[in-house]
Amino acid sequence: QQQVKQSPQSLIVQKGGISIINCAYENTAFDYFPWYQQFPGKGPALLIAIRPDVSEKKEGRFTISFNKSAKQFSLHIMDSQPGDSATYFCAASINDYKLSFGAGTTVTVRA
Amino acid sequence: DGGITQSPKYLFRKEGQNVTLSCEQNLNHDAMYWYRQDPGQGLRLIYYSQIVNDFQKGDIAEGYSVSREKKESFPLTVTSAQKNPTAFYLCASSTGQGGIAYGYTFGSGTRLTVV
């Protein structure tokens, strides 16, 4: 049973466009929501994370939006670049233990 | 530099053979994890460990075994009982239940192929 549902499975965006990936969770005890970026053949790397007491967090071109009442959170990639082409995973956990991962979204940025 | 080291990067297994994947971390993390990644299937949890000498089965533990004799090390053995072991295996660590959340740190992975 997947505790975190992620969509879409893949998306294609033009260079300079906005990529949006959505995730939904069920467990209201989750209190830590990270996003990971993975390039082919590499391990995932932490991109950005948010706690539920904050509705938005921005780091450079990456923004997490968090809606606690709807139990949803999303990643926005602004001004998408070809180097952003990767697979993105959302995740959720209680503190820093035993993350539940979404199924992943493959983002392709066309030049 | 602190991090996680997985070895080998590529591993080939013959039918009926057990193989062991190494995972070492120098981050002083309490918790360690093993994931399996198949194309298009995301990350599936095999085993995890919160402390030394204790580990728990994840979602797909059948055909795998682990040990946690040292805080720094969490090796994974893929046994002959695992009928479809070809996959990309990822080891990760985190501060754990009692720690401040900084997120997982992942290793660079081991690609296992059955020949």
pLDDT, tens only, B60-81:
999 999 999 999 999 999 999 8
pLDDT at B97 over 70: no
**Contact status of A97 with chain B (Cβ, < 8 Å):** yes
Nearby residues of B114 by Cβ (< 8 Å), 6 or more positions away: B12, B13, B14, B15, B85, B86
**A80 CA to chain B: closest CA distance, Å?**
22
Which of the four pLDDT bands, split at 50, 70 and 90, describes residue B98? low
Q: Are A4 and A24 within 8 A, CB to CB?
A: yes
Q: What share of chain B is helix, strand, coil (3-state, %, to 5)?
A: 0, 50, 50
CA distance A105 to A99: 17
**Contact status of A104 with chain B (Cβ, < 8 Å):** yes
**Contact status of A54 with chain B (Cβ, < 8 Å):** no
**A27 CA to chain B: closest CA distance, Å?**
17
CA distance A30 to B59: 19
Q: Are B55 and B71 within 8 A, CB to CB?
A: no
Residue A6 pLDDT = 96
Nearby residues of A42 by Cβ (< 8 Å), 6 or more positions away: B108, B109
Residue B20 pLDDT = 97
Residue B1 pLDDT = 62
Contacts with B92 from chain A: Cβ below 8 Å: 43
The position carrying tokens 């728990």 is: B56
CA distance B51 to A55: 33
The position carrying tokens 């690609």 is: B111
pLDDT, tens only, B40-57:
778 999 999 999 999 999
CA distance A78 to A95: 28
pLDDT in tens, chain A (111 residues): 678 999 999 999 999 999 999 999 999 999 999 999 999 999 999 999 999 999 999 999 999 999 999 999 999 999 999 999 999 999 998 877 788 999 999 999 999
- Partner residue facing B102 (CB), from A43, A96, A98: A96
